[in-house]
Chain A
Amino acid sequence: MTINKQKNENGLLISLEGRLDTTTSPAFEQELKESLEGVELLTLDFEKLDYISSAGLRVLLSAQKTMNKQGEMKIKNVNETILEIFEVTGFNDILTIE
């Protein structure tokens, strides 16, 4: 999986590519931990993300909780497979999906 970061004033755009699963999510979690400070708008671009497992969902949940305290988190370009996962797990209720 590749993680691309783009930072502007108060916002951070992270594009994920590949699979966000047990093997790859610790790296993503570490990346978020290091870069979320002071960020008011976190945008996650899932255009090239193929799959997300429960480990990946846990990282999203953590990020959502952090962003709830300091701003806003949005997820864009979610493909059908992942959208279905969000719906099945009920995560679409707590995530902002555009």
Chain B
Amino acid sequence: MQGDKSSIWSRFRSGMTFNIIGMIVLLLIVFGIIAGAVGLVNFTSAFENEYATTTYHMADTATTLINGSHIADYLEGKRTIEYMQSKSYLEAYCKRIGVSLIYVIIVDTSDYGRFVSVFNHVDNTVGNTNYVEWELGHKRDTTNDEYRAKYKAIYEQQSAYETVYRNNPSDGSLPHITTMVPVKDSEGEVTGILCIQRPMSELVGARRPYVIAVAVATALLAIFVAVFYTFFMRRQFVNPISKVASEATRFARENTKGEPLGKVSRFKEISDLSGSIDTMETDMVNYIETITASAAEKERIGFELSLANTIQVNSIPNVFPAFPERTDFDIYASMTPAKQVGGDFYNFFFVDDDHLAISIGDVSGKGIPAALFMMVTNILVSDRTRMGGTPGEILTFVNHNICEHNKADMFVTLWLGVLELSTGNLIASNAGHEYPVIMQPGGKFEVFKDKHCLAVGAMDGVKYKDYTLKLERGAKLFVYTDGIPEATDHDNRMFGMERMIDTLNKFSGDGPEGVITGIKREAERFANGAEQFDDLTMLCLELK
């Protein structure tokens, strides 16, 4: 339970509502304190001004009760009756207006450092004081500089009156002010100072309610703002954000489109956010669908390609030994496309019992277009060959047929030969294909630089030429596509014709299968796993 409580508390504490409201309430309290303090200072100052003015009027009135021309005489014991009269007036006035002290003094104007008391009336009941009345002629030193400066100002008539404030008196009496006004003789000269000390009990009385009022108002405002804001924030800010957050979490988990959030808050930013989440969900779901569909499409294409590969591989003879009943020759071939389907092909078949047709071709380009082109070419060549004629005639016919519909400017290099098995006479035509390699019995494999014509499909109207040669018993014929000499290793070095011939000679003692597997193995070892960009196709025939 303890853990639950603390986790609820910590969740609450980390929540947006608590933090923002807490911040606002804190600010309000600080604001309240500052406003209260400023108010208090202004209030005090206004009150003091008002108080000083009233006290001045009191003091000014009091001066009319005494004769300023004679106050010096009183000290010398003259005009005693007049003094007593004035004294009784002041005493009555003092009681009447409710001040602590009224007194009249004559200040020594040499340095304002001492004075003599003339009149002095005390009312200790007013300001909770315990002053003792000064006798006529009582002398005192002025130790307080503020008083000295103000006495001087009065004597020199710099101002109508002066005021000394005691907001927090050190003797424990109530806050009070002392107002000083000049006492003048008939000539207008200042002869003394009349002072009134008046307690400011109203100030204290008024100040406390003011402070309480400010504190209560601040607290009420803080509570109101907290409640109102909590409600407002939850509704327009926290709840919408929680809604957006929980929708985002749900979406991350399920990856399905949910109910659109719509306009969740009157704040533009939050509504924009929820709008973005809605858009993102739609886009993501569409994207996921597209990806899924394209993955399925890719799988389908992959399947179709592997099917196409099967069709292509089976469109040419691929079971060896191909003619187990024939002892007068042996033939072996291999085709390895760089991609799933390739543009290379080989073919061999009997035109009649004694004539074996052999073809090998390489279509420009790779992949599906090349594979389609290869299929068409192979079928055209084999069909036309079965109708008879020399390879030259056959290629001329095939070229014309291909050129008629060749919109893609593709072409195929093709070597076609017809071998008379009984004699070893070979009639062949080379349409831009690699030179055949021939090994006569007792000799070595050597490149046979035959006559070359243009690749099939490149240009219409080309007349393909035949050439003849004789294969002796025991001779071997090796035809291939450029994928063999151009097999490349990691450093982009090519296998090369020379290496191919050397390798052929290394396996010259073997039959066609041995020669071809040998070349293939050597070429693969040379490439050392480097990706091959071209199809590897070759065919080897041995006349026995």
Contact = CB atoms under 8 A, between A and B. Distances in A.
Interface of A: 21-23, 53-55, 57-58, 61-62, 65, 87-91, 93-94
- By Cβ-Cβ distance, the 7 closest A-B pairs, closest first, are A89-B432, A90-B454, A54-B364, A58-B364, A90-B432, A62-B409, A89-B455
11 contacts: A22-B533, A53-B533, A54-B363, A57-B455, A58-B411, A61-B458, A89-B413, A90-B454, A90-B455, A93-B453, A93-B454
B431 interface: yes
Given A88-B434, A89-B413, A55 B366 contact: yes
Interface hub of B362, B363, B413 (most chain A Cβ within 10 A): B413
B24 interface: no
B482 interface: yes
Contact of A54 (B413, B435, B459, B462): B413
A57 B452 contact: no
Contact of B482 (A22, A23, A54, A91): A54
B365 A89 contact: no
A88 to B, nearest CB: 6
B433 interface: yes
Nearest to A25: B365
B534 interface: yes
Binding site secondary structure of chain A: helix
Nearest to B451: A90
Contacts of A58: 364-365, 409-411
Contacts of B435: 88
Interface of B: 362-366, 409-411, 413, 431-435, 452-455, 458-459, 462, 482, 486, 533-534
A61 B455 CA distance: 11
Contacts of B534: 22, 53
Nearest to A85: B482
Contacts of A94: 454, 458-459
B454 A91 contact: yes
Contacts of B413: 54, 88-89
B533 A65 contact: no
Given A58-B409, A89-B413, A21 B365 contact: no
B452 to A, nearest CB: 5
Interface hub of A54, A93, A94 (most chain B Cβ within 10 A): A54
Contacts of B454: 89-91, 93-94
B464 to A, nearest CB: 9
A53 B362 CA distance: 11
Nearest to B365: A55
Given A53-B534, A88-B432, 18 more contacts: A23-B533, A53-B486, A54-B365, A54-B411, A55-B366, A58-B365, A58-B410, A58-B411, A88-B452, A89-B433, A90-B431, A90-B452, A90-B455, A90-B458, A91-B432, A91-B454, A93-B453, A94-B459
B469 to A, nearest CB: 18
Nearest to B343: A54
B366 A91 contact: no
Contacts of B362: 54
A17 B454 CA distance: 26
B364 A57 contact: yes
A48 B359 CA distance: 35
B345 to A, nearest CB: 14
Contacts of A22: 365-366, 533-534
B291 to A, nearest CB: 26
B434 to A, nearest CB: 6
Contacts of B410: 58
Contacts of A93: 453-454, 462
Interface hub of B363, B366, B432, B533 (most chain A Cβ within 10 A): B432
Contacts of B486: 53
B533 A91 contact: no
Nearest to B338: A22
B451 to A, nearest CB: 10
Contacts of B365: 22, 54-55, 58
A55 B412 CA distance: 11
Contacts of A89: 413, 432-433, 452, 454-455
Contacts of A87: 452
A61 B410 CA distance: 8
A33 to B, nearest CB: 12
B485 to A, nearest CB: 11
A61 B365 CA distance: 13
B453 A65 contact: no
A89 B452 CA distance: 7
A18 to B, nearest CB: 11
Nearest to A58: B364
Interface hub of A87, A88, A89, A91 (most chain B Cβ within 10 A): A89
A55 to B, nearest CB: 5
